[in-house]
Structure 1
Amino acid sequence: MTDTETQGQPGKAADTRKDGIPLGRIAGIPVVLAYSWFIIGAFTVIVYGPVLQRNNPDLGVAAFFVAFAYAVLLLISVLVHELAHALTAKIFHWPTEKIVLNLWGGHTQFESFTASPGRSVLVALAGPAANFVLAAGGWVLLTSGNLSGVAGILANIFVWANLLIGIFNVLPGLPLDGGRLVESAVWKATGSQEKGTVAAGWAGRIIVIALVVWFVALPLLGGERPDISLMLITVLVGSFLWMGATASIQQARLRGRLHLVDARALAEPAVGLPETATVAQLQDLARDSAPGAAPAVVLCAQDGRPVAVVDAGAVATVPPAAAATTPLTAVSYALGVGAYVPEWSKGQELIEYLAQLDGQEYAVVNGDGTVTGLLRQSTVLDAITGKNPRGRGRIYGRNG
């Protein structure tokens, strides 16, 4: 029952349909049943159905329907778990984008919010707490209601399923909810959420190793007959947890580099020219520039909006005799709509804004709306990933 914290993007309704089958809204929160859930539903029927049939011969074929009912009860338990996350987050005004129920259980996807160690723990532990409450309720019903037959079987399954979901999720490692305890403890001690997330991610990896050793390695080394179903479940769950822990570590390291994403610092020098300018005017500008320091050129519409970037290769093909009559619009390529950012933009805000724009280049403007630079998507990615900056060739050359 993992939680992803991402910035919501336009077209949420389309994204929700892509995720799976919309089940409606609960407390205003969209709930989606991912198509992958049917895999775990079928797996439950195939594996648990024969066990029920063997232990309860009177059920016959109905044992497989009971097994499917078990899968549905498990789905409901996961939904309550995720709702507990989302409703607790609402207390702190963290906007929830959606809840997705899938092969691995489910996750609650949040939009942007400002977290703190204490709030993060409360939101994380609300999920397992809800499962413990469900397990207690099921136990009361089971012990006081004198249930028997199918009702008794399902009530018993419901109690154990919620106990297992609750206990499993409080294990202290990401992507499990208990990992937020480790994250918050390190975060509180160091003042760095990124260090906390990395520590919790490594704790999650240790949990995977412990699960594999306990359920796979030790039985095999002890000469026991392997339980294929248990081994398969351990490997699948372990793989999921390992991938989630690794993703958490990578995301934390990327967050730790967000301070390097600065429009003013990452942009190469650029100047703005009106769309009516000609190639000859551009060549005059290049001659006046210091050798090797010619800035990029961004064309601006009459209202001052950056709309295009001059292409060096196209400029070089213009004959000298036609330079004065060839408009720069003929040797440029368009920027995406709205592809310009203030030079003071930085960090997560800048990344989220760029993610909504088309194209791979963005004009950088100052407070007066004057073009001061050209920001490339590749440069931003290099800053986030820590790779060496790629070459930033000039947009136009020195002709004439």
Structure 2
Amino acid sequence: MTDTDTRGRSGQDPQKQGRKEGIPLGRIAGIPVILAYSWFIIAAFTVIAFGPVLQSDYPRLGVTAFFVAFAYALLLLISVLVHELAHALTAKLFHWPTEKIVLNLWGGHTEFQSFTASPGRSVLVAMAGPAANFVLAGAGWLLRTGGDLTGVPGILTNIFVWANLLIGIFNVLPGLPLDGGRLVESAVWKLTGSQEKGTVAAGWGGRIIVIGLVAWFVVLPLLSGDRPDISLMLITVLVGSFLWMGATASIEQARLRSRLPLVEAGALAEPAVGLPEGASVAEVLALAPDPTTGAGPAVVLYRQDGRPAAVVDAGAVATVSASAAATTPLTAVSYALGEGAYVPEWSKGQELIQYLAQLDGLEYAVVDRDGTVTGLLRQSAVLGALTGKNPGSGKRMFGQSR
């Protein structure tokens, strides 16, 4: 049960996107709820694993035990839905737009669109989920003790109480991607002023939790010589794998966010000049070379309305003979940019990343305030700035003449 920031989505049709990942269950308080196909795996596992246990503990149930186990899976689903709704409705108080709630193999998660967070608000939204489960557990306990329930209703109510209690306790453990990780994140964030440092600390907290779970439920039973509970070990390994991947993803995302200030279109772009689509290869060859590299700038072609439309290919230019350069149009040795693939040179940070994520292609023209082409930004340069890895120059430079 986690909350996910999905800033910068590409604006796909939510209904089509929902059908791809699961079964749309409708909307609650205006929030789309999707049942992922993977949920049926955990439902089947619940029936197979707990059906025989119930049958053994309550012989009179017979085959009905498996239907009770399926009802248990449905109660878990409801508990997770309430947990995620608590996240989403609390977030609404702070005007965080919720994109959707997804119920899946691992429980569920709530996805948010762009919002402005703070340590305090982050904690409140995160803790709302476990708090809802504790409330459900309390309500179930009151019903169980005050209603004198017996038979299948009593069994299901007892399971409901313990399931919500365990969900609530598990989710307040201090590590991402669990809700309790937001406590660690917010504490470090408040102390250091850096959300990224808080996320990294909470991610490591999640990894430590995984190590503790594996040590307690897998390693210690094996070392003690006890007969291991195969089902419990399998659940521990699966849950541990999910938590480790989530913690690792949180750490990597935090490190990427910390490098966002380095992503600026003007600073990352290589020098480029703009030429009209009617220009010839000779005009490219006549461009003054860079004195340090001996190569000319990248060349971007623009339409009559001034919008960048294509990039001249250095390799194709090199195949044009000197005698044909003046009569060969640059449109013959260029490739098209994606629609709208140009950005202001002052664009930077998350705003720039969000915009580029919506564009096709790997290259983008950079323009100044007058709309004049000043550079060519390559996706590899952006990724290099985000990851801190040198992506290689990947530049198309032009020699003067053959």
Looking at structure 2, the residues matched to 386 and 322 of structure 1 have their Cα atoms a distance apart, in angstroms, of 43
CA contact (8 A) 1:338 1:357 kept: yes
| Pick aligned residue for 1:277 from 276, 279, 288 | 279
1:293-313 CA-partner distances (Å, limit 9, x unpaired): 521110000000000001111
**Match for residue 374 of structure 2?**
372
CA contact (8 A) 1:294 1:394 kept: no
Letter in 2 for 1:103: L
TM-score (norm 2): 0.97
CA contact (8 A) 1:131 1:166 kept: yes
User: How high is the sequence identity, in percent, across the aligned residues?
Assistant: 80
**Match for residue 74 of structure 1?**
76
| Pick aligned residue for 2:57 from 42, 55, 58 | 55
| Pick aligned residue for 1:106 from 61, 84, 108 | 108
CA contact (8 A) 2:289 2:295 kept: no
**Match for residue 220 of structure 1?**
222
**Match for residue 95 of structure 1?**
97
Looking at structure 1, the residues matched to 395 and 218 of structure 2 have their Cα atoms a distance apart, in angstroms, of 55
Higher mean alpha-carbon deviation, 217-226 vs 244-253, is at 217-226
Q: What is the Cα-based RMSD across aligned positions, in Å? A: 1.4
| Pick aligned residue for 1:256 from 258, 269, 277 | 258
Looking at structure 2, the residues matched to 292 and 371 of structure 1 have their Cα atoms a distance apart, in angstroms, of 21
Letter in 2 for 1:220: L
Looking at structure 1, the residues matched to 285 and 41 of structure 2 have their Cα atoms a distance apart, in angstroms, of 64
Looking at structure 2, the residues matched to 133 and 288 of structure 1 have their Cα atoms a distance apart, in angstroms, of 69
CA contact (8 A) 1:335 1:362 kept: yes
1:293-308 matches, cutoff 5 A: 293-308=295-310
C-alpha displacement of 1:289: 7.7
Higher mean alpha-carbon deviation, 9-18 vs 328-337, is at 9-18
**Match for residue 154 of structure 1?**
156
Instruction: State the SS of the aligned residue for 2:35.
Output: strand
Letter in 2 for 1:319: S
| Pick aligned residue for 1:116 from 105, 115, 118 | 118
> Are residues 105 and 190 of structure 1, via their aligned partners in 2, closer, same or farther at CA, if it must alter by over 3 Å?
same
**Match for residue 10 of structure 2?**
9
CA contact (8 A) 1:266 1:379 kept: yes
Higher mean alpha-carbon deviation, 344-353 vs 312-321, is at 312-321
Letter in 2 for 1:398: Q
Looking at structure 2, the residues matched to 126 and 271 of structure 1 have their Cα atoms a distance apart, in angstroms, of 54
Looking at structure 2, the residues matched to 288 and 250 of structure 1 have their Cα atoms a distance apart, in angstroms, of 37
Looking at structure 2, the residues matched to 289 and 211 of structure 1 have their Cα atoms a distance apart, in angstroms, of 61
C-alpha displacement of 1:290: 7.8
Looking at structure 2, the residues matched to 24 and 399 of structure 1 have their Cα atoms a distance apart, in angstroms, of 64
Looking at structure 2, the residues matched to 195 and 291 of structure 1 have their Cα atoms a distance apart, in angstroms, of 40
CA contact (8 A) 1:310 1:395 kept: no
**Match for residue 138 of structure 2?**
136
C-alpha displacement of 1:287: 6.6
TM-score (norm 1): 0.97
Letter in 2 for 1:19: E
Instruction: State the SS of the aligned residue for 2:306.
Output: coil
1:29 lines up with 2:31 in the alignment: yes
C-alpha displacement of 1:136: 0.7
Instruction: State the SS of the aligned residue for 1:285.
Output: coil
Looking at structure 2, the residues matched to 163 and 330 of structure 1 have their Cα atoms a distance apart, in angstroms, of 68
Looking at structure 2, the residues matched to 209 and 5 of structure 1 have their Cα atoms a distance apart, in angstroms, of 26
Letter in 2 for 1:121: V
| Pick aligned residue for 2:196 from 180, 194, 197 | 194
C-alpha displacement of 1:13: 2.8
Letter in 1 for 2:312: V
CA contact (8 A) 1:310 1:396 kept: no
**Match for residue 326 of structure 2?**
324
Letter in 2 for 1:223: G
CA contact (8 A) 1:38 1:103 kept: yes
Instruction: State the SS of the aligned residue for 1:375.
Output: strand
Alignment size in residue pairs: 400
C-alpha displacement of 1:288: 9.7
Higher mean alpha-carbon deviation, 195-204 vs 384-393, is at 384-393
1:190-218 CA-partner distances (Å, limit 9, x unpaired): 00111100100111111111111111222
C-alpha displacement of 1:235: 1.1
**Match for residue 393 of structure 1?**
395
> Are residues 259 and 288 of structure 1, via their aligned partners in 2, closer, same or farther at CA, if it must alter by over 3 Å?
closer
Looking at structure 2, the residues matched to 206 and 9 of structure 1 have their Cα atoms a distance apart, in angstroms, of 35
Looking at structure 1, the residues matched to 203 and 371 of structure 2 have their Cα atoms a distance apart, in angstroms, of 44
CA contact (8 A) 2:295 2:398 kept: no
Instruction: State the SS of the aligned residue for 2:176.
Output: coil
1:18-68 CA-partner distances (Å, limit 9, x unpaired): 111111111111111111111100000001001111111111111100000
Unaligned residue ranges in structure 1 (runs of 5+): none
C-alpha displacement of 1:279: 1.1
Looking at structure 1, the residues matched to 203 and 381 of structure 2 have their Cα atoms a distance apart, in angstroms, of 28
Letter in 1 for 2:10: Q
Looking at structure 2, the residues matched to 126 and 278 of structure 1 have their Cα atoms a distance apart, in angstroms, of 64
Instruction: State the SS of the aligned residue for 1:146.
Output: coil
Unaligned residue ranges in structure 2 (runs of 5+): none
Higher mean alpha-carbon deviation, 81-90 vs 386-395, is at 386-395
CA contact (8 A) 1:286 1:294 kept: yes
1:351-371 CA-partner distances (Å, limit 9, x unpaired): 110010000000000111100
CA contact (8 A) 2:289 2:297 kept: no
CA contact (8 A) 1:259 1:346 kept: yes
CA contact (8 A) 1:94 1:111 kept: yes
C-alpha displacement of 1:321: 2.1
